[in-house]
Chains A and B, each alone.
Chain A
Amino acid sequence: MQTEAQSAERGAKAGDEPGVVRACWSCRGPVPAIELFCKTCEALQAPIARDHFQRLDLKRAYDVDLERLDHSYFRYQRLLHPDRFATKSAKERAISLQHATDVNEAYEVLRDPLRRAEYLLSLAGLVINSGEQTINDLELLTDSMERREALAEANGAAKVDEIIAVAASDIASCRTDIAIAFANQNIDAAASLTTRLKYLQKLAAEARSARARYGAAPLTATPGS
């Protein structure tokens, strides 16, 4: 375990707007702030404030092509991962660590349908609390209580499998609806659908662990994203 009280803080990036020219820390020449590497001396530059989509060269939208996301993620990690800088100076290694951390975070958020939705909402200025907030959507509340009850009363693997299947198809259609809401810039609709998605996923997880009590599950595809 290490401690670095004065370790490079992420806040230090603020103010480095794209379009600005900054001085390369290594050769002290000019580098456009959006460039990762100094064109003159090839030193890796400190990360600037960018959103997750920008960081992975993706269009800001709910629909994300996962293959493209992977491709972009690998391309950036190939350039930025600390393994590429193992023999470089301590300063450059520290910068690489920050970049690789940022790219990992962007990847983790964008590949997860729920986190991606929450992130897009936060970019739109809306924050969904991660805590156990009260739901004021009465329909969602009733629905979720009914499903819970059904799960608690389900006796036998077949019953639970049925609940899992219904939840999976509801999750899929909820994700489609979220994509439409974001595409139409209907943020309020996107927000309430995202809350719904969260409850559906939680229910599905509970159903899966209930299913585990009955032994091996049948080979249904896990809902992809």
Chain B
Amino acid sequence: MLLDIHEPGETPTPHETDSTAVGIDLGTTNSLVAVSSGGKPEVLRNIHGEGLVPSIVAYDADQVVVGYAARKSLADAPELVVSSIKRLMGRGLEDVKRLAGALPFEVDESAEGMVRLKLAGRTLTPVEVSAEILRTLKRRAEKSLDREVTRAVVTVPAYFDDAARTATKDSARLAGLDVLRLVNEPTAAALAYGLDKGSEGLYAVFDLGGGTFDVSILKMQKGVFQVLATGGDSALGGDDFDHAIAERFLSERARDTGLDETTPVDAKLALETARSAKEHLTENDNGSWSLGGRGTQSVHTLDTATFDTLITPLVDRTIEICLSVVEDAELNVNDIAGVVLVGGSTRVPQVRRRVAACFGCEPLADIDPDEVVALGAALQAEALTAGSDTLLLDVTPLSLGLETMGGVVEKVIHRNTPIPVAMAQEFTTYQDGQTAMLIHVVQGEREMVDQNRSLARFTLHDIPPLTAGAARIHVNFALDADGILTVSAREQSTSIEQRVEVKPSYGLSDEDMESMLRDSMKHARVDMETRMLTESRVEAQRNVLALRAALDADGDLLRAIERRSVENALAGLEKAMATPDRELIEGWIEKLDDETQFFAERRMDRGIREALAGVSVDDLERGVGTDADSAAE
């Protein structure tokens, strides 16, 4: 058999693992994709040089259009167009009804859990609509990089709850993207500004996007971005400025034309007019706009003073949130060395003035506020795949709690706790022979369950039937580095692992997700198979590298003939890795495992002998400094 000998690290890597990872800003109003190479991030543009993809999706009978083309359809066929879908991510029908202003969507009133839109004869979840935008970004990246793109860092508002984060990850999956990490938008912006490279200190990032508002306080040190506190409102943004203007225009129209009923189509058109009025007033003192529809035409004027009055309550709210986040971080506004502006809505002059006044310093805005988040995401995508010394330490924006007697919330994880975080809680049964238990998880700061966001109801099954209070069920709540919740449970007295059944309050069930994958891609099965093949190859690669390292270190434990058979198994696995046959690869992993069992045992024997003999100088050195009692100082 011919052997391919490689130096460790030079082994050919499976091609999937070295595909480029991109950074995606999935915004309420606009989305972008960027890529970074050598620490220099760049927004990927279309042939017209446009980086922004308006987050607008138009559903035609036979095709789906995204971006500027979809915005054009707004005028002709507004009933087929969806915009600002991000505001509905991970939300239920009740939440959507509470959102301010006339709703530019028709929703399925009968659906439970996640809200569903009725559009062009289809019923769509926000996850599916967002996936269309992500697909467009993926295609743009593939076209401009001329290679397949399957991995991405996607940004989310820092204030997004678990349901909205999960929905974002699900959308990416539907679009054929593997999410390496969800990064909070303010943190991504701080990364793009390279705030750690300047003087050490405390910075605020004020991020007012189309539909969400975030503010984060970060402590900067060389290479470290430590978020101390974060806050915001996941339903406050430039859209609300549009709503304020649109409502004024619509009420003027009602007064002038007698049309007092607002249809979803009217709302869409008025919002679109309001948006252009808002943008105009950023540079000009006044203007006038006309509103058409249903055979009427009305003209509306607006000047900056009136606009300022309309949005003052909204800007007030952002400033209030800033102050309370500063207090959460146990700081004063004077401690903040600088403030960064992010998001298109920070172009509104009143917003700039008020932020400058609040923090007592002129805000940084030298990077385009529309692009800064995507650039930061691209930097993080490069850091995760190519390696980096930069460290992002983020926190959970919302407390995690459990429903207790009387609908009162007991907090298990407090807001602004660094993630990943885990907290264990013990529960007991209250009835003899009880074998199941319901746990209701909520997210939020309020005292009563119904004032917070319901995340999920978990049913613990298979509890051993004991007398009331005898079973001790240990439930572990963990938020991972994406801020997504995982729950596991174990009965302590019997150590029986509990089956946990999740009913996400506003998420998608696994079945929903599967059927969407099936419906949306004819290649869903192929996609799944590719994913599993990649995972097998990564695993095989790890085995190969580990064994080579072991041979380098302890090769002397093998006789020549044993060495040859190990090398043969190794070569077999490497050969299998080059094929697309997952079962073959896994077969060889197992074979290699068997063939090297005796080698592993000899290595362990030697290791333990050495440890017992206490001959290892390294160990002696290590003993100092790690032992708490002997540690210096």
Contacts and interface: CB of A to CB of B under 8 A. Distances in A.
Interface of A: 1-7, 9-11, 18, 21, 23-24, 26-32, 34-35, 39-43, 51, 53-54, 57-60, 74, 77-78, 81-83, 86-90, 92, 97, 100-101, 104-105, 107-108, 219, 221-222
A111 to B, nearest CB: 10
Given A10-B422, A28-B603, A77-B393, A83 B383 contact: yes
Given A27-B600, A81-B481, A83-B384, 13 more contacts: A2-B484, A10-B476, A21-B608, A24-B546, A40-B553, A74-B221, A86-B385, A89-B542, A97-B420, A97-B481, A101-B421, A107-B418, A108-B417
A4 B545 CA distance: 29
Contact of B546 (A5, A27, A34, A108): A27
B550 interface: yes
Interface of B: 17, 162-163, 166, 180-181, 221, 224, 226, 330-332, 334, 380, 383-385, 389, 391-393, 417-422, 424, 455-456, 458, 476, 478, 480-481, 484-490, 497-502, 504, 507, 535, 538-539, 542-543, 545-547, 549-550, 552-554, 596, 600, 603-604, 606-608, 610-611, 619, 622, 625-629, 631, 633
28 contacts: A1-B455, A1-B485, A2-B485, A3-B501, A4-B487, A5-B488, A5-B500, A6-B488, A10-B422, A21-B608, A24-B546, A27-B549, A27-B550, A30-B610, A32-B619, A34-B622, A51-B628, A74-B224, A78-B391, A83-B383, A83-B392, A86-B181, A86-B385, A89-B538, A89-B539, A89-B542, A104-B418, A104-B419
Contacts of A78: 389, 391
Contact of B420 (A30, A43, A100): A100
Contacts of B600: 23, 27-29
A5 to B, nearest CB: 5
Contacts of A101: 420-422, 478
B547 A2 contact: no
Contact of A77 (B380, B391, B625): B391
B424 A1 contact: no
Given A1-B502, A86-B180, A97-B480, A43 B421 contact: no
Contacts of A97: 420, 478, 480-481
Per DSSP, are chain A's interface residues mostly helix, strand or loop, or mixed?
Answer: loop
Given A78-B391, A90-B535, A26 B502 contact: no
A103 B36 CA distance: 30
Nearest to B535: A90
Contacts of A59: 628-629, 631, 633
Contact of A27 (B389, B502, B547, B622): B547
A30 B603 contact: yes
Contacts of B332: 219, 221-222
B487 A30 contact: no
A1 to B, nearest CB: 5
B422 A105 contact: yes
A27 to B, nearest CB: 4
Nearest to A54: B628
A54 B546 CA distance: 29
